Structure 1
Amino acid sequence: MISLNLSASLNPGLLHKTRQNPTRLSALLVTGDKPFSCRYPLGLSPIPNLQIRDSAAKKSLLSLTNPKTPAGSFSRRPRSIAAAGSSDPSPDSDSGEAEKKEKKAKNLQLGIVFGLWYFQNIVFNIFNKKALNVFPYPWLLASFQLFAGSIWMLVLWSFKLYPCPKISKPFIIALLGPALFHTIGHISACVSFSKVAVSFTHVIKSAEPVFSVIFSSFLGDSYPLAVWLSILPIVMGCSLAAVTEVSFNLGGLSGAMISNVGFVLRNIYSKRSLQSFKEIDGLNLYGWISILSLVYLFPVAIFVEGSQWVQGYHKAIASVGKPSTFYIWVLLSGVFYHLYNQSSYQALDEISPLTFSVGNTMKRVVVIVSTVIVFRNPVRPLNALGSAIAIFGTFLYSQATAKKKKIDVGDDKKN
């Protein structure tokens, strides 16, 4: 039953017009003295118990709501007065369309971030290798890359292009460990790049989950059987790729393995020491890691290979022919090293760890294929098979660890 008040002073002429324009019916149902009840939706059947003082108005309204009203005067399709009287979309449809647009915009933004992440990583690997081919001094080149990233962040903070975080002494102390392990991981990777093909280094670096599981287990974390099984193809694939690698070099293999250890310890140490500094986002965190890593690395770089830099510089210029070409290679390697790390942190802020892991795995595939094409490195069939097995194992690992995280979250909620 629907109870409404109908004004006693209805205009019969106005009621008659509603037969031509049903949307005006809602304007007629205004507050009045006499209530009436209706068992049916208005416009589908007569309205019983209608109390109207004006007989002409009553006659007009009853003819309007009579089912025998001529076709075209009022629709028989069930609908509410608001739906019949409004050509504008409902609030629900408006919100649904807004959500769709927002989702499309977010997906587009995420696609751009992923595209930049992949593109910047490819550019870094290509020009980093070009520079190392003519100037085989990875300690200086790695230091410059950290220097370029530090200058980049200082410019963003100084010109207020990005909010500068409030830094405290406890934060710097907590960051010393992660920055040290980041330095170890970065310089070891550069050493590996200088001695073997870029594709081989990335295949070995895909074994990073193996070290993550082992070290985390020693520190008390437990993993389901699926995680342990997922690292088997990683080990098998990396081993097959290593024994069939044309440019195999023990120093290059060791550098990639040490890089894995450094980055895994950085992640573990960051998780344990930086939990109380969640107000600092990933981009600012990486900026401060770059600055502290530069402080760690450059003095050691001077000690390790500083005496060879001048001679190596002249050989590099003679090999390239134009000093500007060498400068561009070094500059691009430094700028894009920071940019691809920046994009990865931005992607991690927007997506789940599982999606990030899958994206990182696919990134290695794209980088490996790109560098093989650019540098025309010979790839044996077994080497390609081993690389594919290792990368597939990394994908399985990301799936297994994602399920473990869901289980852990569920257990925490129960507790």
Structure 2
Amino acid sequence: MISLNLSPSLNPGLLHKTRTRQQPTRLSALLVTNPEPFKHSYSLGLSPVPSLQIRTDSKPLLSLTNPGYTSGFSRKPRSVAAAGSSDSNPDGDYEESDLGEAEKKAKKAKTLQLGIVFGLWYFQNIVFNIFNKKALNVFPYPWLLASFQLFAGSIWMLILWSFKLYPCPKISKPFIIALLGPALFHTIGHISACVSFSKVAVSFTHVIKSAEPVFSVIFSSLLGDSYPIAVWLSILPIVMGCSLAAVTEVSFNLGGLSGAMISNVGFVLRNIYSKRSLQSFKEIDGLNLYGCISILSLLYLFPVAIFVEGSHWVPGYHKAIASVGKPSTFYFWVMLSGVFYHLYNQSSYQALDEISPLTFSVGNTMKRVVVIVSTVLVFRNPVRPLNALGSAIAIFGTFLYSQATAKKKKIEVGGDKKN
């Protein structure tokens, strides 16, 4: 038992309590609700309470001069504080309003962080597509530019790891062996997309690349996965929209169409192969995984690039400088295409680490819309009404696909829990 004698000569505005771990709400309710706290001596049955203090600092923990609130850290009304003094909060560390406000602040902070990541992802992708196309317009050698983009990403990751700006993954022989397949398919997907960008409008390449879910369903089905009818129906508008856009495309080129289609195949096989070969390396996060893939892809691509178009690089460089006028301008375009290629992939992996696959799929679909509109405005590509309609149908189909596959995953998760 602790006896507390409070002198009536004290100014009640100077009486405060020290916040303790054992049931402070019971004490605060007693001090606040008693009508005459300074005329009596109270015997409080709070055996664990170590001490009570008289504080004269400018920020009191408990101020009786403002009887509407019990704490300077919480704007909780007195009646609510008294009601909250039950045994539901035995430790007394934080009140429910404190926890509620903390959760709200955490959610707001996470939402803001995701908004920034999505904004960077979209912005970086737009910058990459614009300057990559500018460079390809004057230097139509996509194998060298694709190699440089992988080189820029590899140097970026090596700098992060060397200066310990980001934790370096533990590289082992089994991990490298498991990574060989995904890196190969990533290389195929990347170079094929660059070839397509060099031959047709950026908007057309992205419309064809929106057909990636079609190849995903087909290849996954061949490997034994089953899909509900809703998923199969969702790919129909994708096929119809891409077909309509291809037929009405002003800049149609068979090489550009083939490159975009091969790119879809490469990235789909990369995703499928990654799921099958990298399951035992979950300790490596998405950013480090992509960094390792970039380095291996560069080793795959550059020797082939030399063989395919290496003899054309020097004369092509001189033509590019002559058409641009200033070498620094051409260097600037190439540099931005390489840096922002890696940055937008880095942002996409960071977004995928924080959100569900469904949200990521929807965000990726909207990203294509933003990129298509931006590049059409920048390069002033002529767009026919039927072409715009086909593009809209294809992109809407990818949205339906993301919804249908999300429902499929929920059903699978529910079945696993029941089993």
C-alpha distance in 1, partners of 2:315/2:82? 82
Range moving further from structure 2, 6-15 or 124-133: 6-15
Does the 8 Å CA contact 2:28/2:70 hold for their aligned counterparts?
A: no
- Residue 4 and residue 177 in structure 1: after superposition, are their counterparts in 2 closer, same or farther (change >3 A)? same
- Residue 264 and residue 46 in structure 1: after superposition, are their counterparts in 2 closer, same or farther (change >3 A)? closer
Does the 8 Å CA contact 1:6/1:36 hold for their aligned counterparts?
A: yes
SS of the aligned residue for 1:240 comes to helix
C-alpha distance in 1, partners of 2:278/2:290? 12
C-alpha distance in 2, partners of 1:225/1:7? 80
Give the CA deviation at 1:269. 0.1
Give the CA deviation at 1:4. 17
Gaps of 5+ in 2: 91-95
Does the 8 Å CA contact 1:143/1:294 hold for their aligned counterparts?
A: yes
The TM-score with structure 2 as length reference comes to: 0.81
Query: Hey, what does 1:28 align to over in structure 2?
Result: 30
Give the CA deviation at 1:77. 15
SS of the aligned residue for 2:38 comes to strand
Does the 8 Å CA contact 2:207/2:395 hold for their aligned counterparts?
A: yes
- Residue 4 and residue 396 in structure 1: after superposition, are their counterparts in 2 closer, same or farther (change >3 A)? farther
SS of the aligned residue for 2:187 comes to helix
- Residue 7 and residue 181 in structure 1: after superposition, are their counterparts in 2 closer, same or farther (change >3 A)? same
Does the 8 Å CA contact 1:44/1:66 hold for their aligned counterparts?
A: no
C-alpha distance in 2, partners of 1:71/1:195? 68
Give the CA deviation at 1:413. 1.2
C-alpha distance in 2, partners of 1:12/1:123? 64
C-alpha distance in 2, partners of 1:226/1:81? 50
Report the structure number with the largest CA radius of gyration.
1
C-alpha distance in 2, partners of 1:136/1:61? 70
C-alpha distance in 2, partners of 1:396/1:381? 23
- Residue 37 and residue 400 in structure 1: after superposition, are their counterparts in 2 closer, same or farther (change >3 A)? farther
Range moving further from structure 2, 270-279 or 7-16: 7-16
Does the 8 Å CA contact 2:16/2:60 hold for their aligned counterparts?
A: yes
Give the CA deviation at 1:83. 2.2
Q: 1:90-138: CA deviations, max 9, x gaps?
A: 9900010011111101000000000000000000000000000000000
Give the CA deviation at 1:412. 1.1
C-alpha distance in 1, partners of 2:2/2:388? 74
Counting matched residue pairs gives 409
Does the 8 Å CA contact 2:5/2:41 hold for their aligned counterparts?
A: no
Does the 8 Å CA contact 1:26/1:81 hold for their aligned counterparts?
A: no
Runs of 4 or more above 4 Å deviation: 1-53, 59-72, 74-82, 84-91
SS of the aligned residue for 1:327 comes to helix
Range moving further from structure 2, 74-83 or 379-388: 74-83
SS of the aligned residue for 2:3 comes to strand
C-alpha distance in 1, partners of 2:176/2:194? 26
Indicate yes or no: 2:84 matched with 1:85: yes
Range moving further from structure 2, 91-100 or 362-371: 91-100
Q: 1:366-399: CA deviations, max 9, x gaps?
A: 0000000000000000000000000000000000
Give the CA deviation at 1:414. 1.4
Identity of aligned residues (%): 91
Does the 8 Å CA contact 1:3/1:35 hold for their aligned counterparts?
A: no
Give the CA deviation at 1:78. 12
Does the 8 Å CA contact 1:45/1:67 hold for their aligned counterparts?
A: no
Query: Hey, what does 2:93 align to over in structure 1?
Result: none
- Residue 39 and residue 324 in structure 1: after superposition, are their counterparts in 2 closer, same or farther (change >3 A)? same
Give the CA deviation at 1:2. 20
Q: 1:139-184: CA deviations, max 9, x gaps?
A: 0000000000000000000000000010000000000000000000
Indicate yes or no: 2:383 matched with 1:379: yes
Does the 8 Å CA contact 2:126/2:371 hold for their aligned counterparts?
A: yes
Q: 1:45-72: CA deviations, max 9, x gaps?
A: 999999999xxxxx99999999999999
SS of the aligned residue for 2:64 comes to helix
C-alpha distance in 2, partners of 1:338/1:21? 54
C-alpha distance in 1, partners of 2:53/2:386? 91
- Residue 382 and residue 43 in structure 1: after superposition, are their counterparts in 2 closer, same or farther (change >3 A)? farther
- Residue 147 and residue 80 in structure 1: after superposition, are their counterparts in 2 closer, same or farther (change >3 A)? same
Give the CA deviation at 1:39. 24
Does the 8 Å CA contact 2:3/2:41 hold for their aligned counterparts?
A: no
Does the 8 Å CA contact 2:211/2:239 hold for their aligned counterparts?
A: yes
C-alpha distance in 2, partners of 1:349/1:78? 40
